[in-house]
A = this chain, B = another copy of it.
């Protein structure tokens, strides 16, 4: 049974403002290559010997964007589920599991806005997890940590239960700095990258047990869905009634047979402009003239940027907006976004 990739594209993050905006969020931007992060995610599982056509779950507003970006890379057989409203990851995955043509198929659930540079490691992890998944386990991918980050969730590995795969002892949500440091020092914690592998039916069974209201709402939304070619419009009223929750809280932290497959695969969630700089992608900056300047992240989709003597800066122009902020402070972009929101209200 081929694995069904499930690509979660519902995010509308503002941490990469001004390029990432509600109408064109991060996953649809070409930040690290000529392809967008959504396209790179779809490309990761195109081997037809192992994978079925993908299921995309995205916001209804992004329907055209998703279809254009899939067309551009020649993926024409994706199923696209348009969320009528945002209800976090657990309901989105529930829609995909209910829409899966084969309920026993394994779903490879992937956020659409992460970078994975070592595809071989990614596919090896999937192969390592698959036998347990087919036997009914829920698997999560554990990212090898590169430092005591406080912005991520952590997963404690227990005993190995099969080659290269461990039972999960516990999940730890965004720890404080001390806790993060001690977890890193312990060596048995991995980052939770939000990538999962499980059978559709097993996930739905877990949902029935731990979040029955959510399952009922998702089922009602799919039962009354409108089908338009390969696009599924779940019923808006039914889905609006669905509780909003992440898969981690709703299912993974509660279920019994949860495994983690360590994956040292060059992962980044590109969660900030600093993170993009750290990846070290040398993007050509067509719209910039850079003199005696170094160690900057400079991006523009139109405005021509001219610098002399600028070091360690993040300079990002998009549309009619430009952001200028020292490297290391890109989390503070949210101050700009909040101030702009306040201006409008």
Query: Which A residues are closer than 8 A to B by beta carbons?
Result: 18, 289, 291-292, 302-310, 313, 315, 317, 320-326, 329, 332-333, 335-336, 339-340
Contact = CB atoms under 8 A, between A and B. Distances in A.
List the 6 shortest-distance A-B pairs measured between CB atoms, nearest first. A308-B332, A308-B325, A307-B324, A304-B321, A306-B336, A306-B323
A74 to B, nearest CB: 34
B322 A291 contact: no
A313 B333 CA distance: 19
5 contacts: A305-B324, A309-B329, A315-B324, A322-B322, A324-B324
B326 A310 contact: yes
Contacts of A289: 336, 339-340
B320 A335 contact: no
Nearest to A315: B324
Nearest to A326: B309
Given A308-B325, A308-B335, 9 more contacts: A289-B339, A304-B320, A305-B324, A307-B324, A307-B325, A308-B329, A309-B326, A310-B325, A324-B324
Given A289-B340, A340-B289, A322 B335 contact: no
A322 B306 contact: yes
